[in-house]
Amino acid sequence: MVEHVPIVALMANLAPPEAPQMIGLDWGTSSLRAFLIGSDGQVLAERNGSDGIMAVSSDTTDLRGDFSRIAETAAGDWLTSYGPLPMLACGMIGSTQGVAEAGYLELPTDLSAMRGELTTVNLTTGDLHIVPGLQKTPTEATAPDVIRGEETQLLGLLGEEDDEPSTVILPGTHTKWVSCHRQRVTDFTTSMSGELFGLLSTSSILSRLAEPTAGFHSEAFDWGLNVGGDNPSAVTSSIFSARTWALNGRLRAEEINDYLSGMLIGAEVAHQLTVVAESSAPVIVCGTTDLTNRYTRALHRAGRETVNANPRAAATGLFRIAEQSGLVPTKENTHA
Amino acid sequence: MVEHVPIVALMANLAPPEAPQMIGLDWGTSSLRAFLIGSDGQVLAERNGSDGIMAVSSDTTDLRGDFSRIAETAAGDWLTSYGPLPMLACGMIGSTQGVAEAGYLELPTDLSAMRGELTTVNLTTGDLHIVPGLQKTPTEATAPDVIRGEETQLLGLLGEEDDEPSTVILPGTHTKWVSCHRQRVTDFTTSMSGELFGLLSTSSILSRLAEPTAGFHSEAFDWGLNVGGDNPSAVTSSIFSARTWALNGRLRAEEINDYLSGMLIGAEVAHQLTVVAESSAPVIVCGTTDLTNRYTRALHRAGRETVNANPRAAATGLFRIAEQSGLVPTKENTHA
């Protein structure tokens, strides 16, 4: 597990930090983020690692033992230093491939309902409470869909008093587009353009001409945005133009991937805005800096305003659920 | 090279076949089809192998020697048995990754122009004549595009007297949609849905649930056709439904790939028909039995009639070019 020691943790050696209240875990398929959280939800320390649920072999005979060891590595020293703390997790750890199936809340649902639906598993580090996911029942016209982890981010970033419905984008390998009204989730859809980009940029005929670079080639990205956004139904054909423009010489080898990324995100945004355009309110984008930048450019091109959300929304959401479910005292209780 | 010895070749031991006139080679990226062709264009024998141009290492120091050995394996015994015969090839053998760059004809172009633009390379098996490809110059609105090999199939399947413009589909990893009027090619577009299907069905999260089977699951395919065809701009999202319907239990593991195939072909056909719908004439489909079946179902769903073209169109096209360029005597000359 790669550990990034934040400045607040280093400072803890000089002066004791505010007393930690809980440990929050955003435990996904291929990553684990651990948060040490203080009484007002402040993140006192954060660690990011690659011990997602795939780090445990699917034919293990000691599921709880294996996940316990990962929890120990991620947060054992926090427990030693600060005594037993409630541990609350969201994400794929609550799936059938995780430590226990934590169920789903059915749409439409208020995110406050999560407080009463936690699943608890006993690990060597203590009780691990797990947040349920959300699911959408299929109709004749629409497929079923599920999310795990994003529901907690949503609770972390949505207010209780917004009057207009909001659209939230959580970009990633599988980008989630979520429609909400205050903290009530009414709909969501998953887009696979992130995974498509990964496959095309590493394993397709397009990848043979592409030269991966760390930089962001904004002109190539915006060109791709226009191609994908103007004609989203053409995308299975348009992606081939990443090859033909490169052979033609107008698209340089180091620009191919950003052109392709722009095309896929442009097509996705053009389509999704026809589905979720409940209001003209700014679209909330919550992801890594790089992906937030890309989706923001695509949304601005489509004439929509955006708000960049707190990238630690998962920690905030975990703290709110812990408060609402009584795992940690609420501020009101503390001050009473 | 895998050799399928056809019945006509076996019969040659009993009675000499009609005197062969030429050897035709459809020499692509990953495959080589060799045809022994008689005086009226009849295919007297055919061999199919996997020695496409990728079988020759890109860092070879003896390009002609390496390609000569493949030609020797594919047709050496025919040359021994029937004396020197003209050899004419189409496909990626005429690209910069092949034995020589055979150039392109610019759209719009008459396919009869190919006769005057052959490139000749001396191999140990004799002169190899190579057919040029076709290319489309880009505009501000459209990307460049190129084909190699399909131009010869087109010549093999298009008549000189059809009054209505025709649309031809040549399905494959990179499916070509071609607009023609008689033997004049006016436009074409490449779709990557075949390669997308390959990537998604073998390397994506969808592939983890899928159980590959040899059979064709027509209900799952048609379901996918409806999803993709009704909403082609949604395809980056819709493909995720192959996962969620499978988790939901309505899509069985052995049906996932056909559902996905239907969705990609359905989206491609819905989009392309808006681009190439010059006439209501039947769409000509020229491919393997399996792919022809899939595209035919998609076109019928979209209300278009279809014609299944001769799958040996490449051999017919090679013979016509050979006649037109004087590599073999024309029937008129022979009978004169």
Residues of chain B with Cβ-Cβ distance to A144 below 8 Å are 241, 244-245, 247-248
Percent of chain B with pLDDT over 90: 78
From CA A323, how far away is CA A37, in angstroms rounded? 12
From CA A198, how far away is CA A279, in angstroms rounded? 32
Asked if A236 lies within 8 A of B270 by C-beta distance, the reply is no
From CA A131, how far away is CA B224, in angstroms rounded? 33
Rounded to a whole number, what is the distance in Å from the CA of B323 to chain A's nearest CA? 32
Contact B245, B216 (CB under 8 A): no
Residues 6+ apart with CB under 8 A from B64: B99, B121, B122, B123
From CA A148, how far away is CA A143, in angstroms rounded? 17
The reported pLDDT for the residue numbered B335 is: 45
- Mean pLDDT on B175-197: 95
What would the pLDDT profile of A83-117 be if each residue is shown by its tens digit? 899 999 999 999 988 999 999 999 999 999 999 99
B235 touches A at CB < 8 Å: yes
Q: Is residue B163 over pLDDT 80?
A: no
Q: Per mean pLDDT, which range of A161-175, A243-257, B61-75 is the poorest?
A: A161-175
Domains of chain B (ranges, CATH numbers):
7-148+312-335 (3.30.420.300), 191-304 (3.30.420.310)
A193 touches B at CB < 8 Å: yes
Residues 6+ apart with CB under 8 A from A133: A94, A95, A102, A103, A104, A105, A146, A147, A148, A149, A151
Residues of chain A with Cβ-Cβ distance to B189 below 8 Å are 237
Confidence of residue A10 (pLDDT cuts 50, 70, 90): very low
From CA A195, how far away is CA B35, in angstroms rounded? 42
The reported pLDDT for the residue numbered A16 is: 44
Which ipTM was obtained for this model?
0.87
What would the pLDDT profile of B198-251 be if each residue is shown by its tens digit? 999 999 989 988 998 889 999 999 999 999 999 999 999 999 999 999 999 999
From CA A152, how far away is CA A89, in angstroms rounded? 9
Give the three-state DSSP class for A191: strand
B247 touches A at CB < 8 Å: yes
What would the pLDDT profile of B22-54 be if each residue is shown by its tens digit? 999 999 988 999 999 998 899 999 999 999 998
Rg (CA), chain B: 21
Residues of chain A with Cβ-Cβ distance to B144 below 8 Å are 241, 244-245, 247-248
What would the pLDDT profile of A29-75 be if each residue is shown by its tens digit? 889 999 999 988 999 999 999 999 989 988 899 999 999 999 999 99
Residues 6+ apart with CB under 8 A from B14: none
The reported pLDDT for the residue numbered A233 is: 97
- Mean pLDDT on B169-173: 94
- Mean pLDDT on B274-290: 86
Q: How far is CA A132 from CA A127, A303, B137, B241, in A?
A: 16, 35, 54, 21
Q: Is residue A3 over pLDDT 60?
A: no
Euclidean distance between the first and the last CA atom of chain A, given in angstroms as a whole number:
40
Instruction: Tell me the one-letter amino acid at B7.
Output: I
Residues of chain A with Cβ-Cβ distance to B245 below 8 Å are 138, 143-144
Q: Is residue A159 over pLDDT 90?
A: no
User: What are the backbone angles phi and psi of residue A103, rounded to the nearest 5°?
Assistant: 75, 180
Asked if A237 lies within 8 A of B191 by C-beta distance, the reply is yes
Q: Is residue B283 over pLDDT 90?
A: yes
Nearest to B236 among A193, A240, A250 (CB): A193
Asked if A270 lies within 8 A of B195 by C-beta distance, the reply is no
Asked if A174 lies within 8 A of B138 by C-beta distance, the reply is no
B245 touches A at CB < 8 Å: yes
Chain B's closest residue to A141, CA to CA, is: B227
Confidence of residue A163 (pLDDT cuts 50, 70, 90): confident
The reported pLDDT for the residue numbered B160 is: 77
The reported pLDDT for the residue numbered A17 is: 57
Q: Which two tokens stand for residue B84?
A: 């020197």
From CA B285, how far away is CA B307, in angstroms rounded? 6
Contact B176, B170 (CB under 8 A): yes
Asked if B138 lies within 8 A of A245 by C-beta distance, the reply is yes
The reported pLDDT for the residue numbered B193 is: 95
Most A-contacting residue of B199, B236, B245, B261 (CB-CB within 10 A), to test interface: B236
